[in-house]
Amino acid sequence: MPQVTLLSHTPDPIRSLYMAYRVCYSSLTPQQVAERIEAERISRETMEAFVAERLKTGHTSPLEQVVFEFAISGVSRAFSHQFVRHRVGISFEQQSQRYVTYRDGSYPYVTPESIRKAGLEADYERHLAEAGALYARMVEAGVPAEDARFLLPNAAATNFKVTVNLQSLLHICDLRLCTRAQWEFRKVAALMRAEVLKVEPMLGRMLQPKCGELRMGYCDEERKAWEACPIGRVRPHKDVLFAIYDQYRKGELQPLRPEDYATIEEAGEELEAAGEPAPGAGVPAS
């Protein structure tokens, strides 16, 4: 199974984000903002609230100033080919099959649970062992490791050390926590999220699939995928939202009827009788 460890991170991510945003929206110099934070004139709660409000605006460039370093091990080459497709805001160092030689032909590998459930684990392991034995014979015969590795399967395990900024990590989780993502990548993304939650819960909670309430809030995958998704029932599909918007834009929304207004008035009377303010009470007339 994959293992993920948070090695280090920006010392105080919330402070860094607050500073970055305040530089954009304040007449104060960065030094003055820092001095106020140090003097506790600006509280932690104030910084968190300000950052949360800024994030709602879609201003995300300050997120690039917060970074996390992870050690990732026990993942397959099938996973790694997907992982390195994330190219912006992330840097990778990966275990090399050129410079690491499995001289006895024994190499670590990943076994999908689906193979075990199908009752084919023994056949799978035998095939991988045969590949390892031939690999060892190649190396003994003088074939360079960089050529002998052509035989190694996607199942072969590999390791990473990565540095990723928060903006890129959010994007990774948008895509890879989705139930459509490959199971191994979902597991790694979930473990990365768990590590961030330990050190900075506010930011960790932001790491969600793209349909999360702190992300888009709806599913933009094809409709059949949404229907098959185990959490689809608690997330609207984009078609529903766009249909409502299109009706509104075209003026096709069903108008409120006289009986609807009667219901509104009756509901207000019932609330007032119960000693509660009616909806809209206290709002000045225009």
Report the catalytic residues: 176
Count the neighbouring beta carbons within 10 Å of the beta carbon of residue 285.
Answer: 4
Do residues 51 and 14 lie in contact, with contact meaning Cβ atoms separated by under 8 Å? yes
Virtual torsion, Cα 50, 55, 57, 62, nearest 10 deg: 90
SS (H, E, C) the chain: CCEEEEEEECCCHHHHHHHHHHHHHCCCCHHHHHHHHHCCCCCHHHHHHHHHHHHHCCCCHHHHHCEEEEEEEEEEHHHHHHHCCCCCCEEEEECCCCCCCCCCCCCCECCCHHHHHCCCHHHHHHHHHHHHHHHHHHHHCCCCHHHHHHHCCCCEEEEEEEEEEHHHHHHHHHHHCCCCCCHHHHHHHHHHHHHHHHHCHHHHHHCCCCCCCCCCCCECCCHHHHHHCCCHHHCCEHHHHHHHHHHHHHCCCCCCCHHHHHHHHHHHHHHHHCCCCCCCCCCCCC
